[in-house]
Amino acid sequence: MSAMSATSGTSAPPQYAIAAEGLRKRYGETRAADGVSFEVENGEFYGILGPNGAGKTTTMELVEGLREPDEGRATLLGIPSWPRKPALLRRIGVQLQASSFFERLTAHEQIHTFAALYDVPPDRADAMLETVGLTEKAGTREDRLSGGQAQRLSIACALVHDPELVFLDEPTTGLDPQARRNLWDLLRHINGEGRTVVLTTHSMDEAEALCDRVAVMDHGRVLKVGAPRALMAEAGVDNLEDVFLQLTGREYRE
């Protein structure tokens, strides 16, 4: 909370937490992002949906400033995310789709290293480990954590510094039902504190349960944006999965 009030103290807060305008990224022949534009309000819980290869991860990485867009730009909290700015990076938290840890370090050492990189006190790191239910696994090395445990550690590292804006790329993939519910509670809680959360997911009930608005993507483009209820009403169906299938087609894709 203190971080929030500090940033909105003197000047008026930017209108949007995220504003993406015409983002394009091409890998050879593949147009991974093909003119993506969207806005996320301050304090909003935003979901990005789409089939495999739709360009969700690419879009997130362009917005985060991890990759340079071929065209277009993204501003986070009113600041362009490219080129990289440490002052901005302090205010955002990122969990990447593939987890990445310091080699041969334990869960405890990982989160404490990240805590030091973001200059937050060590007890905050321990508390975060507790929050994601990894206290018992604190002494386990990164390569000996289960898939879901690694996922939880990666989320803990993304949240350790109380970011104002959180990006989570498929955070609940690989989590057991309890851990999934616990993470939902955690995300609702931090969103309730006024922080903006953006996540991608393949779980429609997750999007329905958590998101204020979702963007459905395919082929590097945003097909539709809206609140889950509004999208369902518009399509005349009673669940988000049918909306998704209507928009993106039913066939298997390569």
Partner 1 sequence: MSTTEARRARRTRAFASLSLAMTRGLLRDRAAVFFTLLFPLMFLLLFGALFKDDSSEPAHLVQVGDVKMLDSLPEGERAGLREVLEITKTDGSRAARDEALEKLRKGDTDAVVHQGDGPGALVLRFSAADQVRSATIRGVLDSVVQHANQRATGQPPAYRLTAGQVEDESTKPIQFLTPGLLGWAVAMSGVFGSAFNLVSWRRKRLLRRLWLAPVGAGSVIGARVGVTLATAMVQTALFLGVAVTPYYGLRLSGSWWLCVPLVLCGTLAFLSIGLLVGSFAKTEESANGLSQIVILPMAFLSGSFFPLEAAPQWVRTVSEFLPLKHLATAMQDVLSRGEGWGAALPVMGGLLAFAAVMTLIASRLFRWDAA
Q: Which stretch binds partner 1 (CB under 8 A): 89-97, 180-188, 207-215, 230-238?
A: 89-97
CB-based burial, 218-231: b 16+ in 10 Å, e otherwise:
bbbbbebbeebeeb
> What CA–CA distance (Å, rounded) separates 173 from 229?
24
- Residue 101 as a binder of partner 1 (CB under 8 A): the answer is yes
Q: Residue written as tokens 């080699």?
A: 103
Using the minimum distance from each CB to ligand ATP, give the nearer residue, 55 or 69: 55
Residues 35 and 16: beta-carbon distance below 8 Å: no
- Residue 254 as a binder of partner 1 (CB under 8 A): the answer is no
Find the shortest distance in angstroms from Cβ 203 to Mg ion: 14
- Residue 162 as a binder of partner 1 (CB under 8 A): the answer is no
- Sole binder of Mg ion in the list 7, 30, 97, 246 (CB under 5 A): 97
Residues 125 and 115: beta-carbon distance below 8 Å: yes
Nearest to 6 by CA among 85, 91, 116: 91
Q: Interface residues for ligand ATP in 62-101 (CB under 6 A)?
A: 97
Q: Which stretch binds ligand ATP (CB under 6 A): 34-42, 54-62, 82-90, 117-125?
A: 54-62
> What CA–CA distance (Å, rounded) separates 13 from 7?
8
Please report which helix (H) or strand (E) contains residue 95, including its range.
strand 92-95
- Residue 203 as a binder of Mg ion (CB under 5 A): the answer is no
Q: Give the phi and the psi of residue 10 in degrees, each rounded to 5.
A: -90, -65
Nearest to 192 by CA among 178, 177, 206, 210: 210
10 Å CB burial of residue 251 (0-12, 13-18, 19+) is exposed
- Residue 28 as a binder of partner 1 (CB under 8 A): the answer is no
Query: Which of ligand ATP, partner 1, Mg ion, none has residue 29 at its interface (CB below 5 to 8 Å by kind)?
Result: none
Q: Interface residues for Mg ion in 139-198 (CB under 5 A)?
A: none
3-state secondary structure 170-182: CCCCCCCHHHHHH
Find the shortest distance in angstroms from Cβ 81 to ligand ATP: 17
- Residue 56 as a binder of ligand ATP (CB under 6 A): the answer is yes
- Residue 50 as a binder of ligand ATP (CB under 6 A): the answer is yes
Query: Which of Mg ion, partner 1, ligand ATP, none has residue 32 at its interface (CB below 5 to 8 Å by kind)?
Result: ligand ATP
> What CA–CA distance (Å, rounded) separates 41 from 44?
5
> What CA–CA distance (Å, rounded) separates 150 from 147?
5
Find the shortest distance in angstroms from Cβ 199 to ligand ATP: 12
- Sole binder of ligand ATP in the list 22, 53, 148, 226 (CB under 6 A): 53
Summarize as ranges the residues that interact with partner 1 (CB under 8 A). Answer: 27, 64-67, 84, 86-87, 89-90, 92, 94, 96, 98, 100-105, 109, 112-114, 116-119, 141
Summarize as ranges the residues that interact with ligand ATP (CB under 6 A). Answer: 27, 30, 32, 50, 52-58, 97
